[in-house]
């Protein structure tokens, strides 16, 4: 029932994300309510003095300020807090009301919560939101999954507050139950891979070519104007221009080289391994963040293993930048392809009802991995919605072939000079195995059978076989 002056949307958790989302919603003419158990945050919200945003520090008053069916979105840290808030909400909301988890929850938790809430008569959406604080304010990319009826109720509002690409909103119903959070998790896995690849280009330029900050800034600036155009390259360009206040030096150079993580990249690797689906570029990106944390060991080892004397790359840096551009293009294609492959299989396994083209479409704007290249991915899935792997698309095929010399040069030169490029190497090895009709896995099967009688299968012959390998007579 719609009452005069009642709010059409409620949001719990008035941190920067929550407050920005409310302002975005209010900008589109909706009446909305915000709740936080921290009075200061509620005060800050009310002090915005926006006629159509109402802050509450009492959850009952907050819920009562909403139109029926009530729509409440949580913008709280993933984990236990989500369960605590849901329990509170269930106590004050009514059957038929809608609860949205807008955090980065693990998809298995969303699965559990969806079932629990369904049994209790509530409609639940697990919705990944990407774009950070700025995205929340100006237009994020949103990946909702769960109750379709709930989605239909909030679709118009979400479409209005989302980013838009070619006039189309970067939000769409992803699929059943935990589909939204699964898609967001893979988004973050790809994000980790792209960030690792970019950091490796930085390493080559800085260590290999001893380029200065301005020169590196110019490279990222140029890349962002071409086919590598993307949010992550764009912010990298800006980071290479950000000087410490009142100084000529970059802030970047004072930042500790120990990468933190909240876990979504690791979850992507774990989920992929559970499905038996390879995403090595994501795995290695998680591993390298972890390695970076062992600073004390790295410092000690750096004195024991000084590395190649020949770390400096010779030759023309400008020419080499073109090779690196191609290598990044290749690595980027691999990162998206591996992520999409994971989504394809997760969809089969978990029966989400995902549409691959729709995922590519809503990632084209608002989110952290938005890029020019997503247009190509979108086009590939639009052409063939059942495409099993992006590398099998003709236009992606041509782009991979064109970039192959670049990535081969970057990986081989880096190994010669002792520069670590684990994500580039992973991208290339994945490709070289992917394009192999035969892999050396036959030897692994023989070894397993040798020491563990695990049996093997034969090419062109039905059945499983075992050999007493010790009895070899030749
Ligand atoms: C986004 C980001 C967002 C968050 C990441 C950071 O899409 O807006 O991915 O979700 O910034 O969780 O992840 P790490 O802390 O693990 O780097």
Q: What is the pLDDT of residue 3?
A: 60
Q: What is the mean pLDDT of the chain?
A: 96
Rounded CA separation 161/144 (Å): 14
CA of 130 to the centre of ligand 1 (A): 8
Per-residue pLDDT of 267-283, as tens digits, reads 999 999 999 999 999 99
CATH of residue 111's domain is 3.40.50.720
pLDDT tens digits for 108-149?
999 999 999 999 999 999 999 999 999 999 999 999 999 999
Q: What is the pLDDT of residue 28?
A: 97
Handedness of CA 401, 407, 409, 412 (dihedral sign): negative
Residue range 366-375: mean pLDDT, rounded:
98
In a domain, 4, yes or no: no
Residues 217 and 167 grouped into a single domain: no
Please check the confidence at residue 363 and state whether its pLDDT lies above 70.
yes
Gap from CA of 348 to ligand 1 centroid (Å): 26
Burial (Cβ within 10 Å: 0-12, 13-18, ≥19) of residue 408? middle
Report CA(195)–ligand 1 centroid distance (Å). Answer: 11
Contact 70/98 with Cβ under 8 angstroms? yes
pLDDT one-digit tens code per residue, 229-277: 999 999 999 999 999 999 989 999 999 999 999 999 999 999 999 999 9
Give 306's pLDDT tier (boundaries 50, 70, 90).
confident
* Domain extent at residue 248: 184-434
For residues 357 and 375, state if they share a domain.
yes
Residues 196 and 264 in one domain: yes
User: For 359-375, what is the mean pLDDT?
Assistant: 98
pLDDT at 78: 95
Distance 185 CA to ligand 1 centre (A): 9
Q: Which of 8, 109, 191, 200 is catalytic?
A: 191
Is 85 in contact with 76 (CB distance < 8 Å)? yes
User: What angle, 0 to 180 degrees and rounded to 10, lies between the N-to-C axes of helices 179-203 and 264-275?
Assistant: 110
Residues 189 and 253 in one domain: yes
Q: Per this entry, what is the length of the chain?
A: 474
Q: What is the pLDDT of residue 472?
A: 73
> Which residue's CA is the nearest one to ligand 1's atom 10?
130
Which helix (H) or strand (E) element contains residue 128? strand 123-130
Of these residues, 41, 184, 323, 361, which one is catalytic? Answer: 184
Catalytic residue status for 3: no
In whole angstroms, what is the distance from residue 426 CA to residue 414 CA?
13
First-last CA distance in the chain? 85
| CB of 188 shorter than 6 A to ligand 1 | yes
% of the chain at pLDDT higher than 90 = 95
20 lines ligand 1 (CB under 6 A): no
Say if residue 349 is in the same domain as residue 308. yes
Q: Based on the structure, what is the number of domains in the chain?
A: 3
Q: Are residues 85 and 25 in the same domain?
A: yes
- 264 within ligand 1 shell (Cβ under 6 A): yes
207 within a domain of the structure (yes/no):
yes
- The answer to whether residues 116 and 249 belong to one domain is no
Residue nearest to atom 8 of ligand 1 (CA): 130
Given ligand 1 and candidates 105, 127, 263, 264, which is best to mutate, with the most ligand atoms within 8 Å of its CB? Answer: 264
What percentage of the chain carries pLDDT values higher than 70? 98
314 band by pLDDT with thresholds 50, 70 and 90: confident
Residues 462 and 425 in one domain: no
Distance between CA atoms of residues 443 and 445, nearest Å: 5
153 and 216 both lie in a single domain: no
Q: Which atom of ligand 1 is nearest to the CA of 188?
A: 9
190 CA from centroid of ligand 1 (Å): 11
pLDDT grade for 2, boundaries at 50, 70 and 90: low
Going by pLDDT thresholds of 50, 70 and 90, the confidence category of residue 20 is very high
436-460 mean pLDDT: 98
CATH number at residue 406: 1.10.1040.10
Does residue 1 carry a pLDDT above 60? no
Q: How does pLDDT run across 329-354, given as a tens digit for each residue?
A: 999 999 999 999 999 999 999 999 99
Q: Is 184 a residue of the active site?
A: yes
């Amino acid at each position: 029932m719609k009452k005069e002056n009642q709010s059409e949307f409620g949001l719990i958790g008035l941190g920067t994300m929550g407050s920005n989302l409310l302002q975005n919603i209010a900008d589109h003419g909706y009446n909305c309510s915000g709740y936080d158990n921290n009075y200061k945050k509620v005060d800050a919200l009310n002090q915005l003095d926006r006629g159509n945003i109402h802050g509450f520090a009492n959850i009952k008053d907050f819920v009562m300020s909403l139109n029926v069916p009530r729509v409440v979105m949580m913008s709280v840290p993933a984990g236990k807090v989500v369960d605590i808030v849901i329990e509170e909400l269930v106590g004050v909301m009514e059957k038929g009301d809608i609860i949205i988890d807008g955090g980065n929850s693990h998809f298995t938790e969303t699965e559990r919560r969806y079932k629990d809430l369904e049994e209790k008569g509530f409609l639940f959406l697990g919705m990944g939101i990407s774009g950070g604080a700025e995205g929340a304010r100006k237009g994020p990319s949103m990946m909702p999954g769960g109750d379709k009826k709930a989605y239909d109720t909030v679709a118009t509002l979400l479409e209005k507050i989302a980013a838009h690409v070619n006039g189309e909103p970067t939000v769409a119903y992803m699929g059943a139950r935990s589909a939204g959070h699964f898609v967001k998790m893979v988004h973050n896995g790809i994000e980790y891979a792209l960030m690792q690849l970019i950091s490796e280009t930085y390493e080559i330029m800085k260590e290999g070519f001893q380029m200065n900050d301005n020169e590196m800034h110019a490279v990222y600036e140029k890349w962002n104007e071409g086919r590598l155009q993307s949010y992550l390259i764009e912010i990298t360009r800006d980071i290479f221009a950000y000087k410490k206040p009142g100084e000529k030096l970059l802030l970047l150079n004072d930042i500790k080289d120990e990468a933190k993580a909240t876990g979504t990249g690791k979850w992507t690797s774990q989920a992929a391994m559970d499905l038996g689906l390879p995403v090595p570029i994501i795995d290695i990106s998680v591993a390298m963040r972890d390695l970076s944390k062992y600073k004390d060991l790295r410092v000690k080892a750096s004195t024991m293993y000084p590395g190649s004397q020949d770390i400096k790359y010779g030759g023309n840096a400008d020419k080499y930048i073109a090779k690196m551009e191609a290598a990044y293009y290749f690595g980027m294609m691999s990162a998206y392809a591996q992520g999409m492959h994971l989504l394809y299989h997760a969809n089969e396994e978990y029966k989400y009802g995902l549409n691959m083209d729709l995922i590519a479409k809503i990632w084209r704007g608002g989110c952290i991995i938005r890029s020019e290249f997503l247009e190509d991915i979108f086009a590939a899935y639009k052409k063939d919605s059942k495409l099993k792997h992006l590398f099998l698309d003709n236009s992606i095929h041509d782009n991979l072939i064109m970039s192959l010399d670049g990535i081969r040069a970057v990986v081989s030169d880096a190994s010669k000079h002792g520069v670590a490029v684990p994500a580039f190497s992973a991208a290339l090895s994945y490709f070289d195995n992917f394009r192999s009709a035969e892999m050396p896995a036959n030897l692994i099967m023989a070894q397993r059978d040798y020491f563990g009688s695990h049996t093997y299968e034969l090419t062109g012959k039905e059945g499983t076989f075992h050999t007493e390998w010790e009895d070899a007579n030749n």
